[in-house]
Structure 1
Amino acid sequence: MSNKDKTVSINDVALAAGVSIATVSRFLNGQLNRMSDKTAKKIQTIIDEMGYVPNAAARQLMTKSSKMIAVVVANIDDHFSSELFKGIGAISITEGYTPVLFDSNDDKQQELDLINKIDQQNFDAIIIQPLNTDAQVIQKQIKRKVPILTVDRSLENAIWPKVISDNYEIAKKVSEYYLKKDYQQVIVITEPIGTVSTRQARTKGIQAIYPDATIMEVNIQETVGNKLIDNVINNIDKKERTLIFALKERLVLRLASLLIRQDVNKNLMLTGFAEADMIFEINPELQLVRQNPFKMGATAGELMLELLKNKSNRVAETTTIKAKFI
């Protein structure tokens, strides 16, 4: 067997460098303050020359840390979820942590199954954009003691810190804006509200200004949802100034394209919660709520690093990132 075919071990590196295995291990874990610069440079040279690749599993057993954070998002198809993950990653990698993305695909049971599988792996922490509304339901899937943080939604029986948006306040602010512009009729289009905290808060914010707002719940993953939306648009009295308030980006996209195709007059206005720049390309005149999910993710990443460093005991603490209407 040639040297190229031989797997180089940490013991081989230690022998070649004339140091102990423990010293090489400290080098690999970034503990350079425990050796001289000369020793560190020598170990690095040997590693490069021998082509040594550290065994991640072995390092995890030794350090009891994977340097990985599990991030469970509601649906990666949503621009919000992908930006949330990017924000978490931008911060976590600064301390050597790698975020790993898991997609619940808007399925509560799939979310619980994923969390159960994550718990069986050696993740150092978990950040969740939860679909399930009760923290105790999620907690049952987690047997190991790891830092947990939730993003975007509030949970019943909350036991973990969370990063959320000011959904009620911004929905109320937007409603006040359109009331001043003499939009008397409001139709709220949303996925089933149920116990989802974001949908509840947004709806209540709108109803604080428009108590008689029409609430239309649809399943945007089904054809029937699109047909219902079409039917609403077709049957609106175009003579009345009517505001359509969509509570999710995919609904805004659907409605924006539909309104353009139907060439609806200016008495009908669309607004809602959305992040993707492409919506403004479809209709540059739209004014929408933007929550800055990247900042929410980055904030979650910062808080999680504090928890991992044991610098903070943020039990059930709430951090609110204010949305903008632009």
Structure 2
Amino acid sequence: MKKETNLITISDVAKASGVSKTTVSRYLNGKFEYMSEDTGKRIQGVIEEYQYRPSNVAKTLKSNKSGLVGVIIADIASQSSSILLKGIGDVCTSHGYQVLISNVDNDPAKEREYIHSLMDNRVEGIIVNTTGYNEDFLVNINETRVPIVLADRTMDELKIDSVTTNNHKMTFDTIKFLVEKGYENIAFFTENPINNSVRLNRRQGYLDAMKELLNIDAEKLIYTINPADKKSCAKAIEDFNSLYKNNMKAIFTVNGVILLSVLKGIQQCNYKIPEDFYVCGYEDWGWATLVYSQMPVIAQDTYKIGVESAKMLIKRINGKADPKPRYKELDDVLIIKSR
């Protein structure tokens, strides 16, 4: 009677094949020169009959290679996170790696805990979409345990391999586009920046553009929105409108979550786009132009961030990277619809 698949051991395969465990091990590791063709076929036949699967743990302990890559996601509820993960997954799969994913809900304590858990599972490297609160911890892990690549969210000082986009420049250029269209009253709607490098860089790009192009200290025109509070965005829109009631007004949104909140808030307040507010910003998730067909949107290639992060990590794992940390900045694109 055949044993249950999950109870089959290398000893069972060796016994049924009439060879030693060493010979079976050599076969599993592709060392066919140590056996005859008939012996190899016999071992393969037993493996198929018993549906034997080698223990990954045993292989890892022996080779110190698990074939596993860990991924830390700050907030998996964000649409961009799923796109980032697809980019990472596609590259890792093509290179023979499996991906272990941990969502930390923007919680720094969870980020540290789950990174320890991934290392307990013997991952060969970790891609981190970080909360922004564990810089020293991440640097230490990268220098002493496993290689880390930061995806999208980065650090002020380059100490770890990082992939992001030109957030500051793209925001600056988009504000310039608005100014050239005749808008001087431009608000910046954002989630709480906290330690999120992406939001902070976009915020600074806005402030720099407003100062350089219009000589305006625009701190008072930054509105921090709580997407979970339906009244939060509507109140900010009314506050902004009260400042420039009869003037042309534009709203720049820091990301797709806030863009959606702004579009809902404008509808809730019975305003119209572009008559009352000209709206543009991050990100192009495919539905913004359904509200207003000519709405400019910034497309961030989040998939490519995932792809480049995975390539960078695998190169680091295989010892083919320069010892110094590497930084790669991809270009975002402002998509301007025309009639």
TM-score (norm 2): 0.85
Which of 257, 277, 282 lines up with 2:286 in the alignment?
277
SS at match of 1:270: strand
CA shift, 1:33, in A, is 7.4
SS at match of 2:304: helix
Report the more deviating stretch, 239-248 or 54-63: 54-63
Kept in 2, the 8 Å contact 1:132–1:138? The answer is no
In the other structure, the counterpart of 2:232 is: 228
Kept in 1, the 8 Å contact 2:226–2:232? The answer is no
In the other structure, the counterpart of 2:165 is: 165
Q: Which amino acid aligns with 1:302?
A: K
CA distance 1:23–1:190, shift in 2 (3 Å)? farther
Cα distance in 2, alignment partners of residues 32 and 253 from structure 1: 57
Report the more deviating stretch, 185-194 or 158-167: 185-194
In the other structure, the counterpart of 2:80 is: 80
Cα distance in 1, alignment partners of residues 68 and 173 from structure 2: 39
- Whether 1:290 aligns to 2:290 is no
Kept in 1, the 8 Å contact 2:23–2:35? The answer is no
CA shift, 1:76, in A, is 0.6
Which of 248, 261, 265 lines up with 1:258 in the alignment?
265
CA shift, 1:157, in A, is 4.8
In the other structure, the counterpart of 1:3 is: 2
CA distance 1:85–1:36, shift in 2 (3 Å)? farther
How many aligned positions are there?
Answer: 321
Report the more deviating stretch, 145-154 or 7-16: 7-16
In the other structure, the counterpart of 1:62 is: 62
CA shift, 1:48, in A, is 1.2
CA distance 1:219–1:254, shift in 2 (3 Å)? closer
TM-score (norm 1): 0.88
SS at match of 1:312: coil
Residues 166-315 of structure 1 mapped to structure 2, 5 A cutoff: 166-211=166-211, 212=216, 213=218, 214-221=221-228, 223=229, 226-235=230-239, 236=241, 237-261=244-268, 262-267=270-275, 268-315=277-324
Report the more deviating stretch, 46-55 or 174-183: 46-55
Kept in 2, the 8 Å contact 1:256–1:283? The answer is no
SS at match of 1:271: strand
Q: Which amino acid aligns with 2:226?
A: N
- Cα distance per residue 1:38-86 (max 9 Å; x no partner): 4655543331122212222222222222211110011111111111111
CA shift, 1:18, in A, is 5.2
Kept in 1, the 8 Å contact 2:165–2:330? The answer is yes
Cα distance in 2, alignment partners of residues 258 and 52 from structure 1: 58
SS at match of 2:170: helix
CA distance 1:95–1:14, shift in 2 (3 Å)? farther
Unaligned runs of 5+ in 2: none
CA shift, 1:28, in A, is 3.8
Kept in 2, the 8 Å contact 1:160–1:314? The answer is no
Cα distance in 1, alignment partners of residues 154 and 89 from structure 2: 22
Cα distance in 2, alignment partners of residues 238 and 41 from structure 1: 82
CA distance 1:195–1:77, shift in 2 (3 Å)? closer
Q: Which amino acid aligns with 2:236?
A: V
In the other structure, the counterpart of 1:152 is: 152
CA shift, 1:88, in A, is 0.5
CA distance 1:231–1:134, shift in 2 (3 Å)? same
Cα distance in 2, alignment partners of residues 315 and 161 from structure 1: 8
Cα distance in 2, alignment partners of residues 205 and 143 from structure 1: 32
Cα distance in 1, alignment partners of residues 201 and 263 from structure 2: 23
CA shift, 1:22, in A, is 4.1
SS at match of 1:155: coil
Residues 5-20 of structure 1 mapped to structure 2, 5 A cutoff: 5=4, 7-17=7-17, 20=20
Cα distance in 2, alignment partners of residues 198 and 177 from structure 1: 21
Kept in 2, the 8 Å contact 1:119–1:142? The answer is no
Cα distance in 2, alignment partners of residues 20 and 144 from structure 1: 39
SS at match of 1:210: helix
CA shift, 1:205, in A, is 1.4
Cα distance in 1, alignment partners of residues 140 and 191 from structure 2: 27
SS at match of 1:208: helix
Alignment RMSD: 2.6
Kept in 2, the 8 Å contact 1:135–1:157? The answer is no
Cα distance in 2, alignment partners of residues 303 and 83 from structure 1: 18
Report the more deviating stretch, 299-308 or 46-55: 46-55
CA distance 1:215–1:18, shift in 2 (3 Å)? same
